[in-house]
Amino acid sequence: MNRMPRSASLTRRIVEALGEAIVTGHYGPEQAFPIEAELCVQLRASRSIVREAVKMLTAKGLLSARPKRGTMVEPEENWNLLDPDVLRWLLERKPSVELLLEFTQVRLAVEPMAAMMAAQRGDAKAIARIGEAIARMRAAESGLDDALESDIAFHVAVLEASGNRFYSRLRDLIDTALRISIVVTNRSKGVDLASVKDHARVYEAIAAGDAKRAKSAMQGLLDEAATLIESLAARSASG
C-alpha cells in the first residue's frame, strides 16, 4: 500500500484540529478566523498546507472568505451536514438525539428503497457482500468479529447493492453516523449487539429477489431505531 505523503497527512491533521475547534465553538459564528500567518505559527505548518486546510474547511461550509473582512466562521446552518467529517464532528461534540433522529429520518427515506432495489437488480457479488456482513454479525455474537463494524458493513452493502450511484455515495455518511447511532440505540435497548435475525430478514428477502419484503423488512428495522431515538429525544426535552 502506498503511504500518504507527509504533507497530505499533516493537512488532514490540521483540517481535523481546526474543524473540531470550529464545531465545538472555539471559534464562534460570524467571528473572524485567524489569518494565515497566525495559523502557520500556531500549527507549525507552511503557508501552502494551511491554505489547503482552510480551502477544505471552506468547501465543507465551515468557513468563507469575505472581501475586506478576511476568512469568517460560518453559522451552523450553513455547514454541510452531508459531509461525513462535519457530521462526525457534530456528533462527537455532544451526541445529539435530535440530530440522530433527523439522520434516522433520512435513512428511512433511503434504505428501504435501497433494499427494494437491491432485490430487484442487485448482482450476485453485491448481494453476497450483504450475506458476508450477516455472517460477520453472527460471528460477532461469539466475539469473533466486531459488532459495530459488521453492522455498518451490512447497511453499506445494501446501499451498494441497490445499483443506484447516489445511494452508494452515501456510504461514508452512513458509516460515520452509524458509529454513534448504533451505540445509542443498542444502549437504549440494553444490549450490545444488533439483532442478527432482523437484519437477516432483509438479506434473505434481497437474496430471494422479493423487493416488497426487502423494503418492508428494512423499514421495520429502521422504524425500531427511530422509535427508540424519539423516546430518547422526548426524555431529553422533558429532563
Split at pLDDT 50, 70, 90, the class of 91 is: confident
The pLDDT value recorded for residue 191 is 58
* Phi (first) and psi of residue 194, to 5 degrees: -75, 160
Q: Where are the extended beta strands (E) located within the chain? A: 63-66, 70-73
Instruction: For residue 81, tell me if it sits in a domain.
Output: no
- pLDDT for residue 74 is more than 90: yes
Domain shared by 114 and 147, yes or no:
yes
One-letter amino acid for residue 148 of the chain: L
Q: For residue 155, which of 179, 139, 123, 186 has the smallest C-alpha distance? A: 179
CATH number at residue 215: 1.20.120.530
Split at pLDDT 50, 70, 90, the class of 93 is: confident
Split at pLDDT 50, 70, 90, the class of 185 is: confident
Instruction: For residue 38, tell me if it sits in a domain.
Output: yes
Instruction: For residue 188, tell me if it sits in a domain.
Output: yes
What is the arithmetic mean of pLDDT over 179-184? 80
Q: Of 47, 76, 105, at which residue does a domain stop?
A: 76
What is the Cα–Cα distance from 12 to 194, expressed in whole angstroms? 33
Residues 136-157: b if buried by 16+ CB within 10 A, e if exposed: bbeebeeeebebbebbbbbbbb
Domain shared by 105 and 34, yes or no:
no
Domain shared by 105 and 37, yes or no:
no
Domain shared by 66 and 163, yes or no:
no
What is the arithmetic mean of pLDDT over 68-86? 90
CATH number at residue 35: 1.10.10.10
What is the Cα–Cα distance from 178 to 159, expressed in whole angstroms? 14
Domain shared by 14 and 127, yes or no:
no
One-letter amino acid for residue 28 of the chain: G
- Split into its structural domains, the chain has a count of 2
Q: For residue 225, what are the domain limits?
A: 95-238
Domain shared by 211 and 101, yes or no:
yes
